Amino acid sequence: MGAPTKIEDARPPATATPDEETRAAGRAAGRTDAFLTRLRTPRRPRLWFEIALIAVSYWTYSLIRNAVPEQQREALRNADWIWRAEHALGIAVEHSVNHALNGVTWLIVSMNYYYATLHFVVTIGVLVWLYRRHPGRYGAVRTVIFLTTGSALVGYYLYPLAPPRLMHGEQFVDTVQVHGTWGSMASGNLAEMSNQYAAMPSMHIGWSVWCGITIAVLAAPLWARLLGALYPVATLLVIVATANHFWLDAVGGLLCLGLGFALTRAWYGRGPYALPRRAATAPAAASPATA
């Protein structure tokens, strides 16, 4: 007797019905939405992570900023164009401010130190204050300044610009050189460590306005809110008096900051200051009886 013949199953393979495909797509979309919701939900920041993030980010920012080719000829040509544009607009008063305040030694020396130090000290101080007092808003407000700084790097690459103090023939006073001020990487012995043609946009303005808005909106004492409002105004005067920036560099800084706020609002669905002050507490896992 021969071996039994194997009968092939002629039934077609089972395929998912349209309803099953719809449910599967719905589950995948639900998982994606849940993942995005978790990313957008304010959570209490972790100290070690924030310190590492800020350190690595600033190191990267400095590395990229200083790696931008120092195109001196183009940077000076752009400075001449900015200076002519400001004359056409009737706002070219940097030279007068620079010379007038340079005549008041104690004031201009104080401004040199202001320019070299407060840019970092105040910004870090505001971040620490946010971390401690407004943990629910910290991540979003911090994201604003990160995006602002990132967009500034694009400006440094695409539009090299010499500061007024490096222009030829306009007789701006390099106040750091004249008064021998310590600590500034814009002039003097430390100048070789920094890109001298990264004046547009001004991150002194971008960061100071970010600090000012944050303090003015979130601080409770009136005196603190007033200081927050005055800080970017003082910074604007300092960057012009020390001949490190034009007025229009400040406008560039504001545009970068506006982009940072816009992108952050688009991600979180509302402004960073409108988020809850305290981070949401993760709900406890449901028990089998209530699941």
Q: Are 113 and 249 in contact (CB under 8 A)?
A: no
76-103: buried (b, 16+ CB within 10 Å) or exposed (e) per residue?
A: bebbeebbeebeeeeebebbeebeebbe
Q: How many angstroms separate the Cα of 287 from the Cα of each of 233, 283, 290, 291? A: 56, 12, 5, 6
Whether the predicted pLDDT of 186 surpasses 80: no
Q: Which of 26-35, 146-155, 159-168, 274-283 shows the lowest mean pLDDT across its residues?
A: 26-35
pLDDT in tens, 188-216: 555 555 788 999 999 999 999 999 999 99
For the chain, the average pLDDT equals 84
Whether the predicted pLDDT of 125 surpasses 70: yes
Q: What's residue 283's pLDDT?
A: 45
In percent, how much of the chain has pLDDT > 90? 59
Q: What's residue 146's pLDDT?
A: 93
Mapped onto helix, strand or coil, the DSSP state of residue 93 is coil
- φ, ψ (nearest 5 deg) of residue 12: -70, 150
Task: Give me Rg for the CA atoms of the chain.
Answer: 28
Q: Which of 9-23, 144-158, 188-202, 277-291 shows the lowest mean pLDDT across its residues?
A: 277-291
Q: What's residue 278's pLDDT?
A: 81
Whether the predicted pLDDT of 285 surpasses 70: no
Measure the CA dihedral 31/32/33/39, to 10°: 110
Q: Where are the alpha helices (DSSP H) in the chain?
A: 18-40, 47-67, 72-89, 94-102, 105-133, 135-158, 175-179, 203-218, 222-241, 247-268
Q: What's residue 79's pLDDT?
A: 96
Q: In degrees, to the nearest 5, what angle opens at C-alpha 14 toward C-alphas 9 and 17?
A: 155
The mean pLDDT of 61-84, rounded to a whole number, is 86
Look up the pTM and report it.
Answer: 0.80
Q: Which of 39-43, 110-114, 221-225, 244-248 shows the lowest mean pLDDT across its residues?
A: 39-43
Q: Residue 209 carries which side chain, given as an amino acid letter?
A: V
Q: In degrees, to the nearest 5, what angle opens at C-alpha 216 toward C-alphas 214 and 220?
A: 105
The encoded tokens of residue 54 equal 């800020």
Structure letter (DSSP) for residue 165 = G
Q: What's residue 2's pLDDT?
A: 55
Measured CA to CA, the distance from residue 94 to residue 171 in angstroms comes to: 11
pLDDT in tens, 34-67: 555 666 666 777 778 888 888 888 788 777 777 7
The mean pLDDT of 248-257, rounded to a whole number, is 97
